[in-house]
Structure 1
Amino acid sequence: MISGDATGAPPRAPGKGRYNSFRIIGGASLGALFEWYDFYVYGALASVLGHVFFPPIDESFAFFASLAAFGAGFAVRPFGALVFGWLGDFIGRKYAFLLTILVMGSSTALVGLLPTYEQIGLAAPILLIILRLAQGLALGGEYGGAAIFVAEHAPANRRGLHTSWIQTTATLGFGLSLIVVLICRASLSPAEFLEWGWRLPFIASILLLGLSVYIRVRLHESPLFTELKARGQTSKQPITDSLLRWRNLRWMLLALFGATAGQAVIWYAGQFYVLFFLQSTLKVPHDTATLLVAAGLLLGTPFVVLFGYLSDLIGRKPIMIAGCLIAAVSLIPVFKGLTLATNPALVRASQAAPISVSGSDCSAMLWRSEATICDLVRAQLSRGGIPYEWETSPGQPLSVKIAGQGIPVDETLLGLTMALRTAGYPERADPAQINFPLAIGLLTVLMTFVAMVYGPIAAFLVELFPTRVRFTSLSLPYHLGNGWFGGMLPVIAFGMVLETGNIYAGLWYPIIVAAASAIIGFFFLNETYNRNLMRVTHPVGNALSPASSSDT
């Protein structure tokens, strides 16, 4: 006989539900928040780390290399999902996400102790990438463990609300990393921060690691997993049962392409890529951009809990699909609004004096081994965040025009620099001209898109898979979506901008992925919010059948 209510809620001691909920949600969420901080503090310092750890070839190259190293941590997250998913389904939820915090915390602290490129040469970026891979592996087990742990304790009609607190930890961890970096920058001179101050946010993770381990050691195992283990129904081979059983693999693929891929690109566009966009493209001062994004995160995070709560009332699917579609049609207008709000001089100059570059001597700027004059021109425009139209003209010499007038250029690029200033293109954003209310409002709008897709998704994924393979089956599509589709967004988008000259070109990547997820999710994913969590197998039916709340 299955314990709990008809929809799979675990039994509760009289009078202790509120205390238990606070302890379980708080314990899992706080540890997850610290782990996200560890992972994202790298991203908050990407521009500095590019300068410190990579060869000083070119500013654009160093930043791109830093983003690529950041992306390496995302690339291995699915492998971490398999390793820790197996551990969570075979041994237990608690031990899996206790181990993840140990790996994450120690790897982050070691980044703060690494020698720089100037000190040990190419060994520096190699060691940095190794530690990023370790962080990615750990994060591959963190999310599934925390989300499942909370959901398997939660009342059936409050799973969306309770797991939405886990969802806030990624945003709050990112926000915490921004705040810590900002405090360190404000406390030190620019030279001190560049020399050694950047290490402090990484080393601080040692304190967070100790607190997280203390909290998680005191938590008890999930009641559903404990009961399943007592009944002898746990999976002896979770990876095989997840990946080599078509009935389960089908739902993993649908979860990836119909939910997590779209959720991921919206999350990273609305929180992470927008920070790079403000700092590197619009040339908003680093601290100002950080404060703007932090304000947007602070105002928008409560919506994650709100949409988690609403998903308990009307379902997970309609909210997530609506979020994908709304974001897909709104990203470019919102980013254009951010440009107007934070760097209006750039908007005025690009409208009054548009730039065009054409020629046959540079058609793959990122991948050429030797730079031509055309490459140098496009690199300077990209570094300055200056939009331009690029056209390949076979057999034609390089042509650079500003407001239709040809500009003579040579390897010094002095003529181009003078022409840009004459045309009114700013070297950087003027803080006095930033419309702070508009910018924060638009960043909050982006966070609302994030909240719609991110608030319900933990409960949705937990409910989609049976208990015996839930950790593995949930973690893999989540981290394929977020680690590959989402985590690679900054690199892909930045590369698209470099190649096209259009500062908004990178947004087409999240737009296309989000729209595709909405279509796939609408036609092929079932609603899950009325399902029984204490299931050994999937509900009877095919991918197009309505969700079942009965055991099979």
Structure 2
Amino acid sequence: MTDSAIGAPGDEPEVVGKNDKLVILASSVGTVIEWYDFYLYGSLAAIISAQFFSGVNETTGFIFALMAFAAGFAVRPFGAIFFGRLGDLWGRKNTFLVTMLLMGLSTFVVGLLPSYAAIGIAAPIILVMMRLIQGLALGGEYGGAATYVAEHAPRGKRGFYTSFIQITATVGLLFSLIVILGVRTAVGEEAFADWGWRIPFLVSILMLGVSLWIRLKLAESPSFKKMKAEGKGSTTPLKDSFGKWPNLKIVLIALVGLTAGQAVVWYTGQFYALFFLERVMKVEASLANILIAVALLLATPFFVFFGWLSDKIGRKPIILAGCLIAALTYFPLFQALTTAANPRLAEATASAPITVYADPADCNVQFDPIGKTVFNQSCDVAKSYLAKAGINYTNLEAPAGTVAEVRIGDQTVIPSFRGDDLSTADFTAQKKTWDTGLGEALSAVGYPLKADSAEVNRPMVVGILFILVLYVTMVYGPIAAALVEMFPTNIRYTSMSLPYHIGNGWFGGFLPTTAFAMVAATGNIYYGLWYPIVVALITVVIGFLFVKEGKDVDLNA
């Protein structure tokens, strides 16, 4: 690759090497494949729950599956610290070659991993280990790719150039959905749930080979080479990034004032929307994947648009506007999604609302870490059915000692029963009978067991999902350029990676788990939206007050 001449310190090059567009494309392709590997798990959470967490009750199993999904996010900041340091010492290119290798191999192992039924508790343990390796690798990948591309970009085009890196996360998710749909169609739903789900994980080994071949062709970034040539590199990037208050303050501002809100908008618009359709609305999994894939495909060009626009008007106003609009519209959008995706459920909820009348002391948080607890109190019996069915309900406090009741509208009352004095066999038998009775009562007033695919208003669902993803493009398209511009070259990889991955790994990655748990605890299917709304609003306030616009910053200064 031919690099442009770089002028005196402080002068950012007007033009870069003639092959830089190819370099950016190659970097983006590699990052797409990393995101594909990482998000396969999220796209298959329901099946993975059945395969690897079958030793616990269904609600706990699904929460466990989401927690294993979140485990990969939990360690991303540690990957950012470890690989960010290497990137500032060793170079951008060499570091993300290592992260690519770790990601691809751990994904391949998941495809080979025996289920819980085959090897017991070892299965989820190994699964979580692979997720942790994936999270560490991704923690090192993004900062390197974003920094690498930004340091190649000519003046006035950093937002546009780095927006192609921003596309990679959504394209990786879209790619995972397309592969899953293709395999599902080819082998059928039953075979896919049994063994076909492994194929998307296994084919990643082929993509790993392609990615490594592409990455090996890349040269180091001009800014990094210039820094090294001038002897300005940091020998202690961790200390310089986080041990000195002036830079640490910027890291904290970047986290709370940019990436935290960006993260919750991203995960609400893509992953939580998918979970909501499948788990709460009971839309057939393949149809839900198709609908969100269409929305992603339609919205993806807007990553580039908002990246380009941020070069004109700035990163800050676009990101904060996306957070604010999302926070103000999530409730009406998800309520409209209910009506469009499962109209019978929406009609039944309006005409015959459900109330659980119970003694609060009789109600437990139905999360069982070891899978041994039997939730047999009368309130638990009622709520476990409703949570599993994805039915919205309100809680009404009853006097102490009252046996819980499920009230359907203002006419039907289904008394629960106490199971704490029953043997396990008797409780199981009575619970099955009671579940059947409640199900029949709910069906009689119009509550469906699952969404009727023929009644799903597909254009409306795609339209709502498109709006949700459009918010994602607003907050995510300019974020790489915004973060790169906040830090100097010698500690840029380390400094920008940590706030990005704490924001996306913790605030965003834990969103599905947190929101689902909030819904399960309250019975309100929309209650989990308070989490992204509050975080997004905090980012709007902090970002408005403390984030400085950086679109005209000199990256070589």
Instruction: Give the alignment's TM-score, normalised by structure 2.
Output: 0.93
Name the SS for the 1:404 alignment partner.
Answer: coil
Name the SS for the 2:197 alignment partner.
Answer: helix
Q: Give the structure 2 partner of residue 540 of structure 1.
A: none
Alignment gaps of 5+ in structure 1: 536-552
| 2:492 matches 1:466 | no
AA partner of residue 366 (structure 1): F
CA contact 2:83–2:140 (8 Å) conserved in 1: yes
CA contact 1:97–1:141 (8 Å) conserved in 2: yes
Alignment gaps of 5+ in structure 2: 418-430
| Deviating more after overlay: 471-480 vs 431-440 | 431-440
| Deviating more after overlay: 356-365 vs 301-310 | 356-365
| 2:374 matches 1:375 | no
Structure 2 CA distance for aligned equivalents of residues 486 and 202 of structure 1: 23
Q: How does 1:382-393 map to 2 (within 5 A)?
A: 382-393=387-398
Name the SS for the 1:289 alignment partner.
Answer: helix
The superposition leaves residues 298-332 of structure 1 with CA deviations (integer Å, 9 ceiling, x where unpaired) of 00111111000000000000111100100000111
CA contact 2:379–2:416 (8 Å) conserved in 1: no
Q: 1:431 aligns with which of 426, 446, 453?
A: 453
Q: Give the structure 2 partner of residue 237 of structure 1.
A: 236
AA partner of residue 398 (structure 1): A
Structure 2 CA distance for aligned equivalents of residues 393 and 377 of structure 1: 14
Structure 2 CA distance for aligned equivalents of residues 510 and 107 of structure 1: 30
Q: Give the structure 1 partner of residue 527 of structure 2.
A: 505
Q: 1:446 aligns with which of 461, 468, 471?
A: 468
Structure 2 vs 1, CA of residues 397 and 376 (structure 1 numbering), >3 Å: closer, same or farther? closer
| 2:320 matches 1:321 | yes
CA contact 1:9–1:154 (8 Å) conserved in 2: no
Structure 2 vs 1, CA of residues 312 and 5 (structure 1 numbering), >3 Å: closer, same or farther? farther
- Equivalent pairs: percent with the same residue? 52
The superposition leaves residues 506-542 of structure 1 with CA deviations (integer Å, 9 ceiling, x where unpaired) of 111000000100100000110010101013xxxxxxx
The superposition leaves residues 263-296 of structure 1 with CA deviations (integer Å, 9 ceiling, x where unpaired) of 0000000001100100110001111100000000
TM superposition shift of 1:364: 2.2
CA contact 1:387–1:503 (8 Å) conserved in 2: yes
Q: Give the structure 2 partner of residue 172 of structure 1.
A: 171
| Deviating more after overlay: 190-199 vs 470-479 | 190-199
Q: How does 1:6-25 map to 2 (within 5 A)?
A: 8-10=11-13, 12=15, 17=18, 20-25=19-24
CA contact 1:7–1:530 (8 Å) conserved in 2: no
Q: Give the structure 2 partner of residue 408 of structure 1.
A: 415
CA contact 1:264–1:485 (8 Å) conserved in 2: yes
Q: Give the structure 2 partner of residue 26 of structure 1.
A: 25
TM superposition shift of 1:390: 1.9
AA partner of residue 514 (structure 2): I
AA partner of residue 379 (structure 1): S
CA contact 2:55–2:116 (8 Å) conserved in 1: no
CA contact 1:10–1:153 (8 Å) conserved in 2: no
Structure 2 vs 1, CA of residues 422 and 133 (structure 1 numbering), >3 Å: closer, same or farther? same
Name the SS for the 2:123 alignment partner.
Answer: helix
Number of matched pairs: 530
Q: How does 1:112-127 map to 2 (within 5 A)?
A: 112-127=111-126
Name the SS for the 1:305 alignment partner.
Answer: helix
Name the SS for the 1:464 alignment partner.
Answer: coil
Name the SS for the 2:355 alignment partner.
Answer: strand
AA partner of residue 381 (structure 1): L
TM superposition shift of 1:6: 8.8
AA partner of residue 363 (structure 2): C
AA partner of residue 370 (structure 1): V
The superposition leaves residues 123-147 of structure 1 with CA deviations (integer Å, 9 ceiling, x where unpaired) of 0000000000000000001110110
Structure 1 CA distance for aligned equivalents of residues 530 and 227 of structure 2: 45
CA contact 1:409–1:415 (8 Å) conserved in 2: no
TM superposition shift of 1:392: 4.3
The superposition leaves residues 79-113 of structure 1 with CA deviations (integer Å, 9 ceiling, x where unpaired) of 00001000000110001111110000000001001
TM superposition shift of 1:148: 0.4
The superposition leaves residues 388-446 of structure 1 with CA deviations (integer Å, 9 ceiling, x where unpaired) of 00244451331221112322234332321111111110111111111111111111101
| 2:548 matches 1:526 | yes
Structure 2 CA distance for aligned equivalents of residues 7 and 353 of structure 1: 68
Q: Give the structure 2 partner of residue 345 of structure 1.
A: 344
CA contact 2:382–2:404 (8 Å) conserved in 1: no
CA contact 1:167–1:304 (8 Å) conserved in 2: yes
Structure 2 vs 1, CA of residues 314 and 426 (structure 1 numbering), >3 Å: closer, same or farther? same
CA contact 2:86–2:95 (8 Å) conserved in 1: yes
Structure 1 CA distance for aligned equivalents of residues 550 and 247 of structure 2: 15
CA contact 1:408–1:415 (8 Å) conserved in 2: no
TM superposition shift of 1:183: 0.7
Structure 1 CA distance for aligned equivalents of residues 232 and 135 of structure 2: 30
Q: Give the structure 2 partner of residue 488 of structure 1.
A: 510
Structure 2 vs 1, CA of residues 525 and 319 (structure 1 numbering), >3 Å: closer, same or farther? same
Structure 2 CA distance for aligned equivalents of residues 173 and 28 of structure 1: 13
Structure 1 CA distance for aligned equivalents of residues 8 and 353 of structure 2: 65
Q: Give the structure 2 partner of residue 538 of structure 1.
A: none
Q: Give the structure 1 partner of residue 423 of structure 2.
A: none
| 2:2 matches 1:3 | no
Q: Give the structure 2 partner of residue 543 of structure 1.
A: none
Structure 2 vs 1, CA of residues 418 and 4 (structure 1 numbering), >3 Å: closer, same or farther? farther
Structure 2 vs 1, CA of residues 6 and 198 (structure 1 numbering), >3 Å: closer, same or farther? same
AA partner of residue 80 (structure 1): G
Q: Give the structure 1 partner of residue 264 of structure 2.
A: 265
Q: Give the structure 2 partner of residue 547 of structure 1.
A: none
Structure 2 CA distance for aligned equivalents of residues 189 and 433 of structure 1: 22
Q: Give the structure 2 partner of residue 302 of structure 1.
A: 301
AA partner of residue 406 (structure 2): V
Structure 2 vs 1, CA of residues 416 and 496 (structure 1 numbering), >3 Å: closer, same or farther? same
Structure 2 vs 1, CA of residues 117 and 231 (structure 1 numbering), >3 Å: closer, same or farther? same
CA RMSD of aligned residues (A): 1.5
Instruction: Give the alignment's TM-score, normalised by structure 1.
Output: 0.94
